[in-house]
């Protein structure tokens, strides 16, 4: 088992990565302070529930935990206020109290939704992240939880740290190839913003990662989570460098909003956004070749790097201006200076962003 710690003084918590950890969940839950005197609510989705919910329920009940569960539709549409209300109803009907905890069993959508329920139920109760996708190695660490509004992604949310992240890599073996690639997008992102050697490692080990090789996957998840944990430990509430973790997200969130939460997986949209950020970096003075290197790395993981031509540029620009990173009339972007180093640029010319969108539509030809 690999173990990391998100260092937040009295709110520090572990990230546990390994095989067979779901079967040991009661031991870890007890070790990290989840009481058996109050009910637990497991929130999962329709894809994950048939595979892992009954087993986790049985394991916890055998250890004398009281467990209730709620299953939401799979996909980004579950990060909504209506589903959030349904989960609040499940918590109330399940008689959760201030000592209860919510267990997020699933990918990033489930983690964000369940975490926001935990942050707001009785003004905040404990929760545990139990990610079952590669993509969730990013979203499960750091305590950013949220639901979407029809006009903007993640606009309604909170910072609410989990008690622990329990990452059983066995759950990743059933992922479809497209979901694997989408998850690896965020893994590579961590290298692109902070660790050049790790970014190159992701490219060099792309085939092993895509094949879910346990050794490669274990190291990749550990290093990806480790980079995020280091940044979160220094800037929990995104007052500074934590914003670097948004590389590719301004364009990526706009793609999701305009295309609808179905045409692209989150990691695919972020991949296109990272290609766009590299283009923008070159426009703002980064060395030539940054875009080509970034695209090569993304393509090695079988990720998209061009913008679909049917997406309206004006609509994309409007969506970016609804993004949380749009401040005081200026476009805020995370811009790479080179592979492994990025910075926050708070006054990006709107015309440059529009040019990048058009270039992405043309395949940056």
> Which residues make up each annotated binding site for NAD(+)?
74-79, 108-112, 132-133, 144, 153
Give me the catalytic one of 266, 268, 282, 324.
266
- 189 a catalytic residue: no
- 148 a catalytic residue: no
- 266 a catalytic residue: yes
Binding-site residues, in ranges, read 74-79, 108-112, 132-133, 144, 153, 186, 249, 266
- 238 a catalytic residue: yes
Give me the catalytic one of 144, 189, 324, 325.
144
Give me the catalytic one of 238, 256, 268, 282.
238
- 47 a catalytic residue: no
- 37 a catalytic residue: no
Binding-site residues for Zn(2+), in ranges, read 186, 249, 266
Give me the catalytic one of 137, 249, 324, 325.
249
Q: How far apart are CA 335 and CA 328, in angstroms?
A: 19
- 204 a catalytic residue: no
Give me the catalytic one of 246, 256, 282, 324.
246
- 228 a catalytic residue: yes
Give me the catalytic one of 228, 268, 282, 324.
228
Give me the catalytic one of 148, 160, 163, 186.
186
Annotated active-site positions, please?
123, 144, 186, 228, 238, 242, 246, 249, 253, 266
């Amino acid at each position: 088992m690999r173990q990391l710690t998100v260092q937040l003084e009295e709110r520090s918590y572990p990230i546990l990565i390994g095989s067979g950890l779901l079967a040991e969940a009661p031991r870890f839950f007890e070790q990290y302070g989840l009481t058996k005197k109050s009910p637990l609510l497991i929130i999962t989705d329709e894809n994950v529930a048939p595979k892992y919910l009954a087993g986790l329920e049985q394991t916890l009940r055998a250890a004398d935990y009281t467990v209730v569960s709620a299953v939401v539709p799979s996909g980004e549409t579950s990060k909504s206020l209506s589903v959030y209300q349904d989960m609040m109803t499940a918590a109330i009907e399940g008689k959760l109290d201030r000592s209860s905890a919510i267990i997020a069993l699933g990918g990033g959508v489930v983690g964000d939704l369940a975490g926001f329920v935990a942050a707001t139920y009785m003004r905040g109760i404990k929760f545990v992240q139990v990610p079952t996708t590669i993509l969730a190695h990013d979203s499960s660490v750091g305590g950013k939880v949220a639901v979407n509004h029809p006009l903007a992604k993640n606009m309604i949310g909170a910072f609410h740290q989990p008690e622990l992240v329990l990452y059983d890599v066995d759950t990743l073996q059933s992922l479809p190839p497209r979901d694997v690639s989408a998850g690896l997008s965020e893994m590579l992102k961590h290298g692109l913003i902070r660790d050049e050697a790790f970014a190159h490692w992701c490219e060099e080990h792309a085939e092993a990662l895509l094949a879910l090789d346990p050794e490669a996957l274990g190291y990749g998840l550990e290093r990806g989570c480790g980079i995020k944990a280091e940044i979160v430990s220094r800037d929990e509430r995104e007052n500074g460098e934590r914003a670097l973790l948004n590389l590719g997200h301004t364009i990526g969130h706009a793609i999701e909003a305009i295309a609808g939460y179905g045409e692209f997986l989150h990691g695919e949209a972020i991949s296109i956004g990272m290609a766009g950020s590299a283009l923008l970096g070159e426009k703002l003075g980064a060395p030539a070749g940054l875009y080509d290197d970034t695209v090569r790395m993304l393509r090695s993981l079988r990720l998209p790097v061009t913008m679909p031509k049917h997406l309206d540029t004006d609509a994309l620009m409007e969506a970016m201006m609804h993004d949380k990173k749009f401040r005081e009339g200026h476009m805020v972007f995370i811009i790479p200076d080179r592979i492994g180093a990025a910075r926050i640029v708070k006054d990006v010319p709107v015309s440059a962003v529009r040019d990048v969108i058009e270039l992405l539509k043309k395949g940056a030809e």
